[in-house]
Chains A and B, each alone.
Chain A
Amino acid sequence: SYDLIQPPSVSVSPGQTVSISCSGDKLGGKFASWYQQKPGQSPGLVIYEDKRRPSGIPERFSGSNSGNTATLTISGAQAMDEAEYFCQAWDSRAVLFGGGTKLSVL
């Protein structure tokens, strides 16, 4: 079966840049999306089609996808960015989510 692998947790200091990876076989050949989920809330879309931002998502959120790895980057992280982040892609007739990465802004 196809899996998307994310690190369980990452941390960043306020104002610094952090990247979260999502690895899967030939993931670069698929479209990757990213979701942010804060405690007690539903997930929300922050990146789609590898690098596009929905309206209302701050410019500090960016994405890339090449080879076997998709990456979500937050440039100038803020306390409000502390959340869990999930990557997502389609594989044939199924949708896959990564296991999630908890971002701490310390």
Chain B
Amino acid sequence: QEQVVESGGGLVKPGGSLRLSCVASGFVFSDYDMHWVRQAPGKGLEWVSYITSSSSTIYYADSVKGRFTISRDNARNSLYLRMDSLRAEDAAIYYCARGGGYSYGDAFDMWGQGTMVTVSS
């Protein structure tokens, strides 16, 4: 069964750091581009960051540029998001999502269950 499972969320103080992980299984992780998407409580979806299958290209939303770092380890079937200088407005459920690849193109064809990040003193 193809799936991605996030972990690493929790409560952090403003200005603090957190590292999220996403472990993939059931598919060839190294074949797919990956994304992080977040959703604040009761709000819509906000794209956070993108990384290609080989890590050769990385993009960030302006709201996190310079504070967040996306990376992956294809040998471990894992995607990461290092979050520094966290702000109250970064509080959200963070989803790991798979890029659509050859089958689904620009779409996000698989989503994890999400991991909650709370930023509060």
Contact = CB atoms under 8 A, between A and B. Distances in A.
Interface of A: 1, 30-31, 33, 35, 37, 42-45, 48-49, 54, 86, 88-90, 93-100
12 contacts: A33-B108, A35-B45, A42-B113, A45-B108, A48-B104, A49-B104, A49-B107, A88-B108, A95-B35, A97-B46, A98-B44, A100-B44
Contact of B47 (A33, A42, A94): A94
Which of under 10, 10 to 19, 20 to 34, or 35 or more describes the interface residues of B?
Answer: 20 to 34
B106 A90 contact: yes
A100 B113 contact: no
A66 B62 CA distance: 28
Contact of A88 (B50, B61, B107, B112): B107
Contacts of A88: 45, 107-108
A103 B107 CA distance: 21
A17 B69 CA distance: 43
